[in-house]
């Protein structure tokens, strides 16, 4: 599990239902474009709005279409340990290769609480766990000493680091060398991989999977000058994709490019017109869409 992993959007129909046909097309297109892995039911997939009755259908579809060609990761994290264990078991039973578990949000547990949360999940499943650290959404940062403690849990093998702090990332790499680190921010993929990161769980690869995968490939092969060139080329898109709360801009961009995306489920809503115009201009400059 190295390289570029797309944090898939969840496409919806005009009636707000899951667009399973659209999702199937997206997964096939991602694999054809050379993506290295797929994550469903993450933040970008609007997981908090997905009903329990819909989860299994999404997981089955992605696993079936991936068909062993690329690893499939399923987001299972909640702020309730019992629910997270249940979702993680479901993901494993349906064929997922790993689960992505976000820091328990809102509750703001202590370090001991976070450790026991992840240990409970690890005791319930046999597939790898990716710790998703994103204090901006959860209200709770996992620092390097706590990450080192989590790395002692048998199947905690990866971390998706979205703290925004390169210093913290370097400390985790140094103090918890067992953990393989993905960037959780597209704009930090290149610098993190130059320091030893293994890839990115990417938002922008929803629309440019081939380029993000190629940038990661260059980094993994030590071809940093070529990777830097792609990083600089994509930098305006990295910024534009977060001009409003994710996944609002990336779904808007995909609709502009004619890819299945559909609308949003509240509390996510349509992009502001002024920001939509800025996003469109970036897509034109990068020749993702025509003028």
Question: Known catalytic residues?
Answer: 132, 160
- CB atoms closer than 10 angstroms to residue 53: 7
| Beta carbons within 8 Å of 84's beta carbon, 6+ residues apart | 76, 77, 78, 101, 117, 121
> CA gyration radius for the chain?
18
**Cα torsion 109, 111, 113, 117: sign:** positive
CA-nearest of 259, 258, 261, 253 to 277 is: 253
Measured distance CA(92)–CA(272) in Å, rounded: 39
Measured distance CA(183)–CA(199) in Å, rounded: 6
Contact 78/103 with Cβ under 8 angstroms?
no
Q: Are strands 3-7 and 37-40 parallel, antiparallel or unpaired?
A: parallel
Measured distance CA(134)–CA(141) in Å, rounded: 7
Q: What pairs with residue 37 in β-bridges?
A: 5
Any idea which residue has 């071809």 for tokens? 223
Measured distance CA(150)–CA(131) in Å, rounded: 9
Say how many CA atoms lie within 13 Å of 147 toward its Cβ: 31
Measured distance CA(24)–CA(66) in Å, rounded: 10
Contact 39/71 with Cβ under 8 angstroms?
no
């Amino acid at each position: 599990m190295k390289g570029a992993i797309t944090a898939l959007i969840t496409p919806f129909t005009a009636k707000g239902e899951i667009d399973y046909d659209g999702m199937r097309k997206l997964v096939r297109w991602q694999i054809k474009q050379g993506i290295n892995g797929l994550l469903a039911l993450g933040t970008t997939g609007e997981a908090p709005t997905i009903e329990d009755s819909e989860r299994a259908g999404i997981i089955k579809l992605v696993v079936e279409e991936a068909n062993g060609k690329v690893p499939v990761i399923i987001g299972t994290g909640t702020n309730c340990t019992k629910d997270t264990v249940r979702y993680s078991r479901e993901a494993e039973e349906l064929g997922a290769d790993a689960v992505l578990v976000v820091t328990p949000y809102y509750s703001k547990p202590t370090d001991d609480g976070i450790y026991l949360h992840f240990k409970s999940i690890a005791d319930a499943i046999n597939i790898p766990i990716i710790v998703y650290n994103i204090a901006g959404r959860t209200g709770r940062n996992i620092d390097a000493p706590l990450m080192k403690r989590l790395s002692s849990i048998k199947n905690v093998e990866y971390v998706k680091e979205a703290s925004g702090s390169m210093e913290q990332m370097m400390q985790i790499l140094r103090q918890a060398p067992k953990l393989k680190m993905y960037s959780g921010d597209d704009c930090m993929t290149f610098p993190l991989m130059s320091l030893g990161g293994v890839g990115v769980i990417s938002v922008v690869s929803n629309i440019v999977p081939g380029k993000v995968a190629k940038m990661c490939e260059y980094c993994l092969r030590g071809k940093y000058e070529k990777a830097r060139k792609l990083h600089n080329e994509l930098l305006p898109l990295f910024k534009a994709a977060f001009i409003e709360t994710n996944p609002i801009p990336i779904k808007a961009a995909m609709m502009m490019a004619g890819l299945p995306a559909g609308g949003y489920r509240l509390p996510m809503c349509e992009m502001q017109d002024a920001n939509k115009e800025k996003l469109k201009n970036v897509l034109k400059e990068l020749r993702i869409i025509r003028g």
